[in-house]
Structure 1
C-alpha cells in the first residue's frame, strides 16, 4: 500500500494559513501571510527538498494546486525542487475545477476520501500533501494520513486556519524524528500508529 504523508508549516499556536506570502491566502481577512519566510535558511530549504525528493506523487487541494501551478513552472531548469515538482504526478482534489492543465496533473472525481483511499491501494511510491488545508481536514476525518512532517516555526499568529480541527479522528502517533534548524524551526516527524492510549496521573496513582 502507498503511504500518504502530510507536510505542513505551522506556527507555534497551530496556524497553517499563508506561511509563504502576503497574498497566499487572505480568507477570513487574514493579514499575517508570509510569517514563515524570515525563518528559512539554506539548510532548511535543502531539508524540504530532500523530503520532496522522496515523493512519487503530490496530492493537492484547489488553492494549493493553483498556487503551485502558477509558480513552479517558472523555476529555473537547474532548480532540483522545481524539476521534481514539475515532473511528478499531481492529483488534485476540487469541487469547482473542471480540468487541470499543469503537466502530469489529474483531477480526482467523486468522493475525495474514497478516491484517495483507492490511490493508496494502487501501485507507486509515497504520496505527499503540501499545504492544502481544506483537503487535509477531509483526510484526517477519514484517517488516511500515515505520516506527518511538521515544521513548527517560533511565532504566534493568534488567528487563521489550523491543521487540526474538530473533525480530526483520535489516533496514536509515534515520533520518528525531531530536529531544530539554526533559526529555531522545530522539524518533527510523526508516524500513525495504533489508537490513543489513556491513563491517570496524580500521587494516588503512583504516576507523579
Structure 2
C-alpha cells in the first residue's frame, strides 16, 4: 500500500496562503528532494491553479533560478490528479476527478507505486476523517500574517489526531520543516 503524505507551507500563526511565501534556494532544493519519493500529486482545484501553468512554464522555458528550474522539472514530471467540479482544462499527465476525493484517494493508495502527495487544504478534513493521510510535512515560515486560509478551521477536525515527530530541519532563512507520522 502506498503512503499518502500531506504537505503544506504555513505561517507561524497557522495560515497557508502560498501567495505570501517566498521560498529560497535551500527550500526549493528541499521540496525537490522530497518529491523524489513521490510519483503522484493529488491537488484541489485552487492549489492546482496556483501551481499550473506557472511551474510548467518555468520547466519548459528554464526561466527560473537553477533551483527553481530543478523544482519545476520534477513537479511537472509527476502524474497529477486534480479534484474539481468546475475545472475544464489541465496540463498533460493530469486528470480531473469530479467527486468523492476520499474514495478516489483510497483506490490510488491501493495501487503499486511511490508516495502520493496531497496538497489541498479544502480536502484535508475529509481525508483525515477517512484515515487516508499517513504523514504530514509542514514547512513553517517565520512570518505572522493574521489573515487568509487556515490549515484547519474550527470544528473541521472531528477527533484528535496523534502524530509522531520523526524529523525537523531548520534552514538558514529561519524556515523550519517538520515531518510527522500518524500514530
Q: TM-score surpassing 0.5?
A: yes
Provide the TM-score with structure 1 as the length reference.
0.77
Provide the TM-score with structure 2 as the length reference.
0.87
More strand by share: 2
Q: Look up the SS of the partner of 2:113 in the other structure.
A: coil
Provide the aligned length of Structure 1 versus Structure 2: 174
> Is 2:43–2:118's contact at 8 Å kept on the other side of the alignment?
yes
TM alignment of 1:1-208, pairs within 5 A: 1-17=1-17, 19=18, 21=19, 34=20, 36-37=21-22, 40-77=23-60, 79-97=69-87, 99-130=88-119, 132-165=120-153, 166-168=155-157, 169-193=159-183
Larger Rg: 1
> Is 1:140–1:167's contact at 8 Å kept on the other side of the alignment?
no
Give the root-mean-square deviation of aligned CA atoms. Answer: 1.7
Q: Which runs of 5+ in 1 are unaligned?
A: 22-33, 194-208
> Is 1:141–1:167's contact at 8 Å kept on the other side of the alignment?
no
Q: Could you list the structure 1 runs, at least 4 aligned residues long, displaced by more than 4 angstroms after superposition.
A: none
